[in-house]
Structure 1
Amino acid sequence: MACGGFTCSKNALCSLNVVYMLVGLLLIGVAAWAKGFGIVFSIHIIGGVIAVGVFLLLIAIVGLIGALNHHQVMLFFYMVILLLVFLFQFGVSCSCLAMNRSQQVALLNATWKMLHNETKVELEMNLNCCGLLNITADSQHYLSDVSSCQAQCRKNVCQTCGEKMLLHSAEALKILGGVGLFFSFTEILGVWLAARYRNQKDPRANPSAFL
């Protein structure tokens, strides 16, 4: 059968959702591995990664069941959810690619203030740094971070965590934005495949049945 036929669309949609399931399981597994080996101690970070993995896994299961059964309602909701995810991820990916240094500093400051103390301590120990940036609008907040720092570099002179992050932030944002942009186009491919598959007639069904 030609690649534009019912079977090809079904197989392509099933394959795409199997990939989404593997990615979701990979995220859950990596989060559990990081927690088990003590790489990341913050329950908020672990919970966030696991939540993303479970969400992607559930979407893939809905799409896979809908594709296997040619279920119109499940395919419709799969299309809507995947389209919303695409719009959000596309916007975030473009923002990552377009972010300049001053915006990176502002984002780091805002994110650092929202972190819990245990997460800051963990980050400082992993990166061997103290505080975020010593030139900020809230210098008292910086001094408080340095006083509670437990990094090994405190014995000598510590570089700030913000300076270390900014050294590689541009490259990291490009990688993150590029991967997110690539993955977002696989999502719009999934929406297109689901829409096309919904409107195709099952050759094994009753020819007189209404689609």
Structure 2
Amino acid sequence: MVCGGFACSRSCLCALNLLYTLVSLLLIGIAAWGIGFGLISSLRVMGVVIAVGIFLFLIALVGLIGAVKHHQVLLFFYMIILLLVFIIQFSVSCACLALNQEQQGQLLEVGWNNTASARDDIQRSLNCCGFHSFNPNDTCLASCFKNSHHCSPCAPIIEEYAGEVLKFVGGIGLFFSFTEILGVWLTYRYRNQKDPRANPSAFL
């Protein structure tokens, strides 16, 4: 059944924004849990996750208030922001799904070289030292280094799972990008519908 009524459009838009709110709170909660239990010591990585969660929460809040009050200005800005997020997320998701093995390796090496604190977490959790090679004079938090000072490099271990992770992230991103374009379409329709409780002579 096609949702064509004013009340149905408002309910669908509210439900979509409640979903975004739950996802944003989940992101913030996972980041806080990771910091609290010391699973990830990189404040930069956790800061990015929390920032994305807060940004998504604010967008969902704007959309929810605009949907409940049928506020034209809020709905317009919500629609524009959601469209921009859709374009960015759709592009990133397609890039994740299209990367070949060589490009994945280059991307992982760039990430490895630019995240010192996350590097320590990876070495400790995967029990490896260095990306392609390791200098024995450097420090490593892996248990193999503490016991014998002989550890395998991290690149083969990371690359083994990189393809699956990128496909998973790309698939999830692609799914949510389609919910965002659905939100843009619902908002556009909802803005042009008249509230049956309002003055019939009022101009939208």
TM-score when normalising by structure 1: 0.91
* Counterpart Cα distance in 2 of 1:15 and 1:111: 37
1:84 aligns with 2:76: no
Question: Partner residue of 1:138?
Answer: none
Number of residue equivalences: 202
Is 1:129 matched with 2:91?
no
Deviation, structure 1 residue 160: 1.4
Question: What displacement does 1:191 show?
Answer: 0.4
1:1-211 equivalences in 2 (<5 Å): 3-116=3-116, 118-134=117-133, 142-143=134-135, 147-154=138-145, 155-156=147-148, 157-211=150-204
Tell me the amino acid that sits aligned with residue 156 of structure 2: E
Moved more, 150-159 or 53-62: 150-159
Aligned-residue CA RMSD in angstroms?
A: 1.6
In 2, the alpha carbon distance for the partners of 1:168 and 1:121 equals 18
Q: Which letter does structure 2 place at the counterpart of 1:174?
A: K
Q: Whole-Å Cα distance in 2 between the matches of residues 53 and 9 of structure 1?
A: 26
Q: Distance in 1 between matches of 2:184 and 2:199?
A: 27
Secondary structure in structure 2 of the residue aligned to 1:147: coil
Q: State the shift of 1:74 in Å.
A: 0.3
Q: Aligned AA for 1:133?
A: H
Unaligned runs of 5+ in 2: none
> Match for 1:150: what amino acid?
L
Distance 1:100 1:133 in 2: 19
Q: How much has 1:159 moved relative to structure 2?
A: 2.0
CA distance in structure 2 between the aligned counterparts of 1:32 and 1:65, rounded to whole angstroms: 27
**Counterpart secondary structure, 2:135:** helix
Aligned-residue offset at 1:153: 1.4
CA deviations on 1:112-142 (whole Å, 9 max, x unpaired) are: 11112x33222211111101123xxxxxxx5
Q: 1:109 is paired with a residue of what secondary structure?
A: helix
TM-score, structure 2 normalization: 0.94
Q: Secondary structure at the match of 2:41?
A: coil
* Counterpart-to-counterpart distance in 2, 1:164 and 1:178: 22
Deviations 1:5-50 (A, max 9, x none): 1000000000000000000001101111111111111111111110
Q: Match of 2:183, as an amino acid?
A: G
The CA deviation string for residues 84-122 of structure 1, in whole angstroms up to 9 with x for no partner, is 000000000000101011101110111111112x33222
